[in-house]
Structure 1
Amino acid sequence: MAIVDVECGECGVALQVDEAEMGSTMTCPKCKLPFFVEPAGAYGLVEDPPKRRGRSPRAASDSAAVDPPETAEQRRIREQMERWAGSEDA
């Protein structure tokens, strides 16, 4: 049978599988999570598909961290520290 390029839907690793495996579920050899076997780039996606979050320490480091908005107390402390740092430079 023919060999087909696929990607793990969980971690994005590129794999080559036998065409007979298309439409089945297999376990990724890298992340050890099950994924549905379909051709790489299926559905005409332009961007990478979203990855599961919180499944492994590596997955957590891959996702972009978003800082919460600064509170009034945090802003007051930051401004005070900036004033102190400015007075040391003088």
Structure 2
Amino acid sequence: MAIVDVECSECGVTLQVDETVMGSTMTCPKCKLPFFVEPAGAYGLVEDPPRRLSRSPRSDSGSAAVEPPESAEQRRIREQMERWAGAEDA
């Protein structure tokens, strides 16, 4: 029975476990969350994960995030909310 290093996919702590538990799920002793047991570094395959679009005008790269066009349903809801806000101000 060999001991291998595994990494918790939730908190990133490196643990030493018996190789017989590879491919199963275990609870991390640090964060207490379940994770799938794979070799350490298995989750570091992507250097920079894709970033979510920000609704703020400033992003980390210094340029504004491009938001998708507003749908008809979104426009209807936004206009209704603006009417309600205007009615409260009056």
Give the TM-score normalised by the residue count of structure 2: 0.51
Change (3 A) 1:7 1:48: farther
For the structure 1 residues 48 and 13, does the alpha-carbon distance in structure 2 shift closer, same or farther, using more than 3 Å as the test?
farther
Other-structure match for 2:80: none
Higher helix share: 1
Gaps of 5+ in 1: 50-65, 71-90
Q: Aligned pair in 2 of structure 1 residues 29, 47: CA closer, same or farther (>3 Å)? A: farther
Q: Contact conserved, 2:11 with 2:31, CA < 8 A, in 1?
A: yes
Q: Aligned Cα RMSD in Å?
A: 2.9
Aligned length: 55
Shift of 1:69: 2.8
* Matched residue, 1:25: 25
Task: Provide runs of 4+ in structure 1 moved above 6 Å.
Answer: none
Q: 1:27 to 1:18 in 2, by over 3 A?
A: same
Instruction: Report what 1:10 is aligned to.
Output: 10
Trace 1:44-55 onto structure 2 (pairs within 5 A). Answer: 45-47=45-47
Superposition pairs for residues 1-90 of structure 1, below 5 Å?
Answer: 1-42=1-42, 45-47=45-47, 68-69=56-57
Which amino acid in the other structure matches residue 13 of structure 2? V
User: Taking structure 1 as the reference length, what is the TM-score of the superposition?
Assistant: 0.51
1:2: how far off? 0.2
